[in-house]
Chains A and B, each alone.
Chain A
């Protein structure tokens, strides 16, 4: 059973507008969440993270929101730029993360000019 779910395989957004990528999880033991960006033929690149004791974390154009009661997090990108076109993975971990990350299947974000 998938513990981290990204239900939108793809998302198309116009350049300059807001991109919102969603992620749901089922394991209440997850205490740290991360977003990774991946271009074709490259490794995933860390974008932003959030601890379960917070509900928001911001880094430049990227903001992650966490709703623990709904077991839901989202990544907002404002404004969206052509270079943001990539696959975005949501990931989660428990107990300090020493035993690795659990990933969602990814959402392919396409920024339209």
Chain B
């Protein structure tokens, strides 16, 4: 049981490039979400999903897209990276929508 996995661990992008941050969980959790953590800001919710085929916006959704075609996977897409998207990104999953279990994170640097 691997829990929540994220790839890549670290990525450098140039402004304007696109990329997809991968997130997978093997716990059969219906709820999944993406957060970003910036220095001194705590974690902020980007997008979340309550089940396959259902997604919604969180506190800071601009510049990001998500989809949920399977229960296991919840990728986060940056369509045109900006320096303001330099951050650490955490994916989380939950069986009850309350207690969330986090992956190890992806550190993203946009130049």
Contact B94–A103 (Cβ < 8 Å): no
Instruction: Give chain B's interface residue range (CB within 8 Å of chain A).
Output: 20 to 34
Q: Answer whether residue A21 sits at the interface, using C-beta atoms and an 8 A cutoff.
A: no
Q: Answer whether residue B26 sits at the interface, using C-beta atoms and an 8 A cutoff.
A: no
Q: Which residue of B lies closest to A46 (CB)?
A: B99
Interface of B is mostly: strand
Task: Give chain A residues whose Cβ lies under 8 Å from the Cβ of B98.
Answer: 32, 34, 49, 93, 96-97
Q: Which residue of A lies closest to B49 (CB)?
A: A98
Q: Which residue of A lies closest to B100 (CB)?
A: A101
B88 shortest CB reach to chain A, Å: 9
State which of B12-20, B64-72, B77-85, B101-109 sits at the interface with chain A.
B101-109
A100 touching B48 in the complex, CB below 8 Å, given contacts A32-B98, A46-B101, A105-B41 = yes
Within 8 A of A (CB), among B28-57: 31, 33, 35, 40-45, 48, 50, 56
Count chain A residues whose beta carbon lies closer than 8 angstroms to a beta carbon of B: 25
Of B97, B100, B104, B105, which is within 8 A of A46 by CB?
B100
Give the one of B43, B99, B102 with max A CB within 10 A. B43
Within 8 A of B (CB), among A14-36: 32, 34, 36
A contact set with B: CB distance below 8 Å:
4, 32, 34, 36, 41-46, 49, 89, 91, 93, 96-106
B contact set with A: CB distance below 8 Å:
4, 31, 33, 35, 40-45, 48, 50, 56, 58-59, 90, 92, 94, 96-105
